[in-house]
Amino acid sequence: MTKKDYHFGYYFFLITILVVGVLLIIRLSPEKNLQMLSLVGLSIIYALVGIIHHLLNHDLVGKIVVEYILVALLGIAAAFFIFRGGFGI
């Protein structure tokens, strides 16, 4: 397997997980608590998949771990802000 094929498989897997997660969040739209819980789970899976990918490529450093965690937390914060009514508009 070439490096290009390996990255294609990783990105295909990641996009599949994200699409399934978004569809689940849309499906759970009447239940805001379940919707938020599934978003938190999706964010955790996103961070873990990214960290594992870098671990397998032997280029995992602390900066990358922090970046994945911060991006996941930013997504959770943005969704919480949107789901809870934003600016009250």
- pLDDT digits over 9-66, tens only? 888 988 999 999 999 989 988 888 898 899 999 999 999 999 999 998 888 999 999 9
Instruction: Check whether 86 has a pLDDT greater than 70.
Output: no
Question: What distance in Å separates the CA atoms of residue 17 and residue 31, rounded to the nearest whole number?
Answer: 21
Question: What distance in Å separates the CA atoms of residue 19 and residue 43, rounded to the nearest whole number?
Answer: 12
Neighbours of 13 (CB within 10 A): 12
Q: How far is CA 8 from CA 1, 5, 20, 47, in A?
A: 11, 5, 18, 18
Return left, alpha or beta for 60; rule: phi > 0 is left, psi -120 to 50 is alpha, else beta: beta
Question: What distance in Å separates the CA atoms of residue 49 and residue 68, rounded to the nearest whole number?
Answer: 10
